[in-house]
Amino acid sequence: MAELIIDHLEVAVADKVILNDVNLTINDGEIHALMGPNGTGKSTLSETIMGNPRYQITSGRILLNGEDITEMATDERARAGVFLAMQYPVEVAGITNADFIHSAMDARDHHEAVPVLKFLKALNQNMAFLDMDEDYADRGLNEDFSGGEKKRNEILQLMMLQPSMAILDEIDSGLDIDALKIVARGINEMRSQSFSCLMVTHYQRLLNYVVPDVVHVMMGGRIIKTGGPELAKELEKNGYEGLEQDVKG
Ligand code: ADP
Ligand code: MG
Ligand code: MG
């Protein structure tokens, strides 16, 4: 199962309401795109689903596979199967990329160690699949990685952790066309009935390579329109302002 329900969610940051009555259902196996201009609350929604404590849920609920995760801590959500690729992935100098992924997998499995050989085999396979140089494994987590390399590395984590629900916040930002295709290849490889995904993006471009089942447009902390892939194409053509006028009538 991989079903996410966002039910009448209202979220405040530093006592300022950012999200208003957000409703969203992602069914098993579906990929949804969340689009919208800067500063409308897309990252706020992403961080809130992952349980970042800075974002206060003032009303509404989040359900994962029927279970209410609204009050769960981030690590519990990760164990429940939620994964977030952050808009700005963190850099950590003291820990290698491979060690970071390995400990994240152990934590997901209630601190039952994933055997080293099994881990390395999967890591090498996935790195090859993502056209990543072997030396990325032993470098500091995202340390001195370019923007595009960080994004590719988020997809490596995704493929290793195999979450049931992934939120990818601007996974396409800063990617050249070759890197975009590789990132898309990774996401498409994850596609199955036991995986669902919310892809946050400004641009239609990613959606040519990962075709979403549903497209949502967020403005001013609300989802103002939902449609199919054609909605993203319409946005590309007419921009968000055209849509806003359209919605207001
Ligand atoms: P988007 O991802 O759509 O660009 P964000 O969710 O990052 O938008 O931001 C939505 C609004 O919430 C903005 O006005 C932003 O300034 C505010 N905001 C987001 N995160 C924080 C935070 N940690 N502290 C203060 N304000 C925040
Ligand atoms: Mg933004
Ligand atoms: Mg954002």
Q: How confident is the model at residue 94 (pLDDT cuts 50, 70, 90)?
A: confident
Q: Which tens digit of pLDDT belongs to each residue from 36-50?
A: 999 999 999 999 999
Helix (H, G, I), strand (E, B) or coil at 137: helix
Q: Residue 145's pLDDT is what?
A: 87
For tokens 């519990």, the residue is 76
Q: Name the token pair of 225.
A: 């329109």
Q: Which CATH architecture has domain 2-244?
A: 3-Layer(aba) Sandwich (3.40)
Pocket test for ligand 1, best of 10, 11, 43 (most atoms within 8 A of CB): 43
Distance of CA 187 from the midpoint of ligand 1 (Å): 26
Pocket test for ligand 1, best of 16, 18, 42 (most atoms within 8 A of CB): 18
| Residues in the ligand 1 pocket, defined by CB under 6 Å | 13-14, 18, 36, 38-44, 54
Q: Which tens digit of pLDDT belongs to each residue from 194-214?
A: 999 999 998 899 999 999 999
Residue 202: which residues within 8 A CB-CB, separation 6 or more?
Answer: 35, 36, 37, 38, 170, 173
Strand order in the sheet with 196-200: 82-85, 165-169, 196-200, 31-35, 214-219, 222-227
Considering only CA atoms, which residue is closest to atom 5 of ligand 1? 41
| Residue 63 near residue 4, CB atoms below 8 Å | yes
pLDDT at 249 over 70: no
CA–CA separation, 222 vs 61, rounded Å? Answer: 15
Pocket test for ligand 1, best of 11, 15, 40, 44 (most atoms within 8 A of CB): 44
Q: Residue 209's pLDDT is what?
A: 97
pLDDT at 144 over 70: yes
| Lowest pLDDT segment from 27-31, 33-37, 59-63, 173-177 | 173-177
